[in-house]
Structure formats: structure tokens, C-alpha cells
Amino acid sequence: MKRRAYVYIMMLFAVMLFASPCCSKQSYAKSAEKISKVRIVTCKEEKETLMLLKASGNVKWTSSDKRIVKIAKRKGKRNQTVVLETRNPGKAIVQAKAGNKIYRCKVIVQNKVSKASLAGVEQTDNTLRVRVRLGNNGREPLNYGGSFWVEKLENGKWVKLTAQNDAAFTLAQRRLKGRRSVEETYELYSEGKAALYQKSDFLPGTYRIHVDADFAKDDYNYVAFQVK
């Protein structure tokens, strides 16, 4: 009888011994503080939300450079949530302090410039294609497509080339989601195909293509390229 009781007590002790660290670990996991993001990449004039999860006390938030990132609003009983307002391009550290613990998030603010850029030129004896990358750095979608044209640099001035067939040089209207980019190919001329221009229109020199997109400035719609 005593032996059975002894075995029972030892088994109970072993169960408690193994269960205690597990429970302790779970308890620690539930109470562990952490910042919701350690790095944010965004554009100027945007708003971002940052939180100190499972905050153990009142949270004090600071920005290393208010010209770049401003703490616009604090939320929660312990100020555990903040709304960040981005102002100018640059880098700043947003810091959350709860008791003696400090948590940091690096914020990178970029220019809110959505524009077209050159992706490449494909030139052969019979064809000329220009690849254009359209970038949308904002949150809202933008429209692109429609008609476009080409200009040549002559004596320091841009001169629009005379088109052969306006209807042949169009791109279907499309939408580009925020924070995305897309690459489109524009065929300027191709032997045996209807095109806006002819091979004789493109002597060696500097040209630029104007693409139809809802960019903030018309300058962002132009992409320069070289013809050999």
C-alpha cells in the first residue's frame, strides 16, 4: 500500500515538473510585447498604422525626424496604437517605449511619383519596338492606355512626328493597381503590318514617346529613347 502511494506521488510530481515549464512558456508568450512592424516602406503624404502588441503599460511614441514622419494620432487606453503621417522623403525611426523596454520601427518615405520609364528598345532592320514601364507608387489605381505619339529632338526642340494612321497606334484602356508596375510594348513600325509610323521616320537620333496615363504631371508621360 505504501509502495503504491509512493509510486503515485512520484508520478504526480513528474507530471507537475514537466507541465510547469510549458505553462510558464505559454504565460510568457501571452504577455510578450512586440511592435507590429519593424520596417515600413511608404510614400509621402500617406498614413500608416503602428501598434505595440500586448503592451504592459502606457506607451510613449517618438519620431526621430518629425519632418519625415509625424505621429498624428494615438489610440487605445495605453496609447498602444498610433497613426503615422508621412511628410517628406527620407528615413526616420519611430520608437515605442513601455516601461524600461524600447521598440523601434524604421520608416522609409519615398517620393510619391508615378511615372513612365524606359524598359528597353528592340530595333531590327524591319521593326522598332519601345518597351515602357509604367509605375504606380500611390495607393489608388490609375488608368493608362489610349493613344500615344512620338517626338524627335531637333536643334534642342521636340518636334512631333507626322503619323500615318492614328487608329493603328493605340492601346486598350487598362487599370494599374496601387504600388504596382507594368511593362507595355509599343510597336512604332513593323514591315508588313499597319503601324503609326514608317521606317523612314526614324533616322538615328533622340526620340521620346508620350504614353497616355493618369500621372500627376504630363512630363511623367514622356520616355526618351535612342534610335541607331
> 89 with 122, same domain?
no
Count of structural domains within the chain:
2
Domain end, chosen from 110, 129, 156, is at 110
- Which of 34, 54, 49 has its CA nearest to residue 85? 49
Q: Regarding predicted confidence, which is higher, 224 or 46?
A: 224
**pLDDT tens sequence across 15-74:** 565 544 444 444 444 458 999 999 998 888 889 999 999 998 999 999 999 999 999 999
The three-class DSSP label of residue 79 is coil
Instruction: Find the domain containing 201 and state its range.
Output: 116-227
Q: Give Rg (Cα) of the chain.
A: 31
Output the pTM of the full model.
Answer: 0.61
Domain end, chosen from 77, 110, 143, is at 110
Domain end, chosen from 80, 110, 140, is at 110
> Please, what is the average pLDDT of the chain?
86
- Which of 91, 112, 95 has its CA nearest to residue 38? 95
